[in-house]
Amino acid sequence: MTLEQLNALEHAEFVQTLSGIFENSSWVAQAVFKERPFPHVSGVFLAMDYVVESSSEIQKLALIREHPDLGSRLKMSSESVLEQSSLGLHNLPPELFERFSQANQKYQAKFGFPFIICVRNQSGVQEVLEAFETRLKNGLEREKGAALYEISQIALHRLTDLLES
C-alpha cells in the first residue's frame, strides 16, 4: 500500500488497515485518522507513537498486555507470528522452549505483563534470552518504559512494511 492510498481510505478501512501496527489496538489508528493527509510515512508513525505516549497508564498497560509471550505456542496476531518466526521462536527445540517458558513466567510474575522485545532488532535467540535476564533486574517503571520503547520499534517496522509493500 502506498501512503497516498492510506490517506485516501475511509475511516473504517483506515482503522482496520492500521489496527495491527500497535498489537490489536485499533484505538491508536482511530485517534490518528483525523490527522490525514500524512505527507510522509514518518508522519504516520510519529502521530501513532504520540497517541500511545500521551495515553493513560491504563491504556499503556492494556497495550503492553496485548502482546504475546515470546516463543509461545498460543494464538497471536499474524504480525507477531511473522516477527517471532524470523528468529525461529515459533519452532524452538524443547530445551529452548523450556528456557523461554521459564523466562516468560518469571517476567510475568515480576511485572504483570509479557516481556516485549523487537525481535527484528535482535541477532538471535541467545540475544533475546540475555535481554530477558538483563531486564528482569529493572524496576517496574523502568520496565514499562522499556516495553513501550520496544512496542514503538515493532510498530515502526510494521508500518514501514505495510507502506513499502
User: Which three three-digit cell numbers place residue 39?
Assistant: 505527507
- Give the separation between CA 4 and CA 56, rounded to whole angstroms: 31
- Give the separation between CA 61 and CA 39, rounded to whole angstroms: 31
Nearest residue to 76 (alpha-carbon basis) of 128, 154, 131: 154
Note whether 18 and 48 are within 8 A (CB): yes
Catalytic residue IDs: 67
